[in-house]
Homo-oligomer: A and B are copies of this chain.
């Protein structure tokens, strides 16, 4: 297929496809003549992956490029690819190394130890967690950390479900891409579910009967 059809199939403008090719997110089509190329199903798939990471996952183009290069590299272990995804997915908080973040890092290390997680806590995810806990302190909600265990329980449960899914439904070759997609879209899905659960809980606790303004939210 040529670029016009690819554009229609993937719902991405021709100009944008050209841009992605220039940026190295999408391989160029196979040239059939000096200025004519043909694209295949793989291109459609790749475009959908790009859009999912971009729109739902909120990754930057540069981050997606790194992830995609890693996904395409059959030499890299899944571990490495996931590490790259996490590195790119997690925003960089270059907080000056003050006492608060140090203390938060210690709390993260304790949590990891208590859970028996086989993880170095200076992992990007651990750093992100420390930054979030420090931000919580800053804002005056240090006590929130008390319910961290409930969060960790939930995270373990979700991670277990993710592993089950991967084990049962994902072919070996597709493992890496699945992991990336699952990591990124899983965040979005969980966040949405949490929001729904909050609205429900909030309705039960605070909602007056007959007051349905909490259930649906016009802007």
Contacts and interface: CB of A to CB of B under 8 A. Distances in A.
What's the number of copies of this chain in the assembled complex? 2
A180 to B, nearest CB: 10
Contacts of A185: 132, 135-136, 139, 141, 144
Interface residues of A, number: 102
Interface string A178-190: 1001110111111
Interface in A157-196: 157-165, 167, 169, 178, 181-183, 185-196
A118 interface: yes
A214 interface: yes
A190 B78 contact: no
Contact of A84 (B167, B196, B202, B217): B217
A69 interface: no
Main secondary structure of the interface of A (DSSP, over half): helix
A182 B136 CA distance: 9
Given A55-B93, A91-B58, A215-B120, A151 B200 contact: no
Interface in A105-124: 112, 115, 117-120, 122-124
Contacts of A197: 117, 152, 155-156, 158-159
Contacts of A123: 195-196, 199, 215-217
